[in-house]
Amino acid sequence: MQTFDFDLFVIGGGSGGVRAARMAAQRGARVALAECAELGGTCVNVGCIPKKLYSYAAGYAESFEESAGYGWKIGEPHFDWATLKSRRADEIHRLNGVYRGLLDGAGVTLIQGWAQLADPHSVQVGEKRHTAKHMLIATGGMPFVPDVAGREHVVVSDAMFDLDPFPKRLLVVGGGYIACEFASIFNGLGSEVIQVQRNAHLLNGFDDDVRQFLASEMRRAGIDIRLNSEVEMITRRPEGLCAMLGRGQRVDVDAILYATGRVPNTQGLGLEALGVKLDARGGVVVDAHYRSSVPSVFAVGDVSTRQQLTPVALAEAMVVVDALFGKGQRQLDYEFTPTAVFTHPNIGTCGYTEAQARDKFGDVTVFSSEFRALRHTLSGSKERTFMKLVVDKASDRVVGIHMVGADAGEIVQGFAVAMRAGATKAVFDSTIGIHPTAAEEFVTMRA
Ligand code: NDP
């Protein structure tokens, strides 16, 4: 019988890779994980975590302003970008250590360096070759920037956390999660933000009412959103960057962020040479159990281009670990995956948009509500909250929940449990609200 150095070799120390390595090792498997950068991947280092910290930072600007309505008198607030950057860096460094501690604690062998598959059961890292029964590719994704003239002058989301100097004027290109979140963050921190989106709406794939409502709230907050607009050329000038948009529009800014999607990180891993099938975007093609076209090679998370979300990568990793080291084979159900966009205000959503629900279920009933949150009756803010439920008429099941408003992600997370459990509108209606909250609106919608 062939013997291997390890039972599982994981390439990539981000959310999916670390989860798989740690849990497999805890179940007694001999596991190695190779990572060439800091542990934690995109989420910890240049994604979800620092983004959310910066989103909190931006939120203080609104809070300082609103506090006057509650009787507070404070001096002119001053934002120090250098302090935020260095405090974020310290926290991320701490988290890198936490990840290392988790792997060490579970007995995972951490190998620093670039790993390349040499054959279905071996990996080359530097001078050394390691063998394993199973390989897991969890190398995530990276930002994609289209081929625009002057592309060398733009930055991607990875660079936004350490920009130097702070961009007083920022152009954000794209209308997806990352573009909307950074537009909100930098607007809150004090930049003049212009956001350019190539089609007629932000946030493709979200409920149409949510897309429109969010755009109007972001505009109210001061972001200059230009829809049906594209960048044709970028040039560097002594006073900053100049972007030419269609129809002769010119924009002068200090920095340009391209947030135009992310592509799987599959280059240089030896996948093609091994015969691992890749899709048109370069993502690893996997079956329902995350097995690639080479039976010993698995892939989870953004590298296999399903839903590009940290919790999805974690869940996929657990499916692989269960199948290989314990509980047996099962299949992940992607229906009712909740998600949030940390714009100001936040979006929280779970299930089907109204249009998707009409396509899938036919007859649906829609309940929606728009209001000023209690907090803003005194704060003076004009911010509004939007909530929507989509119900399948035949079964009465709530199949879509959508919110734009403060803490939408926190609120929708709880409702996602009920939706996965198959809660009907009657169950929502029979649930007692928590008063006074915005969330209670979801159990009191009658029209
Ligand atoms: P998205 O796919 O969400 O959005 C990409 C945007 O770029 C779209 O508006 C798209 O326009 C536009 N675009 C694409 N190609 C071009 C082009 N050639 N020229 C101009 N515009 C273009 O990608 P993101 O980069 O924002 O984020 C990647 C993924 O990361 C997200 O989909 C999400 O899954 C994940 N993520 C999740 C977060 C969260 O959970 N809060 C936060 C950040 C990221 P169009 O609409 O016309 O296609």
Which residues form ligand 1's pocket by a CB distance below 6 Å? 146, 173-179, 181, 197-199, 204, 230, 259-262, 308-309, 339-342
CA–centroid distance, 174 to ligand 1, in Å, is 7
CA distances from 41 to 26, 46, 48 (A): 21, 8, 10
Of the pLDDT bands very low, low, confident and very high (cuts 50, 70, 90), residue 414 is very high
What is the per-residue pLDDT for 432?
A: 98
Domain spanning 339-443 has what CATH number? 3.30.390.30
Asked if pLDDT for residue 274 goes beyond 80, the answer is: yes
> What's the average model confidence in pLDDT over 332-345?
97
Average pLDDT, the chain: 97
- Give per-residue burial for 430-441: e unless 16+ CB within 10 Å, then b: eeeeeeeebbeb
Domain ranges of the chain: 6-143+263-325, 151-260, 339-443
Q: Which of 97, 113, 95, 119 is nearest to 43 (CA)?
A: 95
pLDDT of residue 2: 78
Instruction: Give me the mean pLDDT over the 344-354 stretch.
Output: 98
- State the CB neighbour count (10 A cutoff) for residue 159: 14
- Beta-strand ranges (E) seen in 180-254 are 192-196, 224-226, 231-237, 240-245, 250-253
Q: Is the pLDDT of residue 447 over 80?
A: no
**Per-residue confidence (pLDDT) for residue 439, from 0 to 100:** 97
Ligand 1 centroid to 176 CA: how many Å?
4
- The alpha carbon of 33 and the centre of ligand 1 are apart by a number of angstroms equal to 29
Please tell me the pTM assigned to this model.
0.97
Task: Tell me if 315 sits within 8 A of 332, measured CB to CB.
Answer: yes
**CATH class of segment(s) 6-143+263-325:** alpha beta
Q: Which atom of ligand 1 is nearest to the CA of 341?
A: 41
Cα 435 from chain centroid (whole Å)? 31
Q: Which residue has the higher pLDDT, 183 or 326?
A: 183
pLDDT greater than 90 at residue 26: yes
Domains 6-143+263-325 and 151-260 belong to one CATH topology: yes
Query: How is residue 342 written in tokens?
Result: 């940390």
Mean pLDDT across 217-231: 97
- For the domain with range 151-260, which CATH number is right: 2.30.300.10, 3.50.50.60, 3.30.70.1140, 3.40.50.300? 3.50.50.60
The question of whether 435 is a catalytic residue gets the answer yes
pLDDT at 306 over 90: no
What are 357-394's pLDDT values in tens digits? 999 999 999 999 999 999 999 999 999 999 999 999 99
Candidate of 308, 314, 346, 347 to mutate for ligand 1, largest count of ligand atoms within 8 Å of Cβ: 308
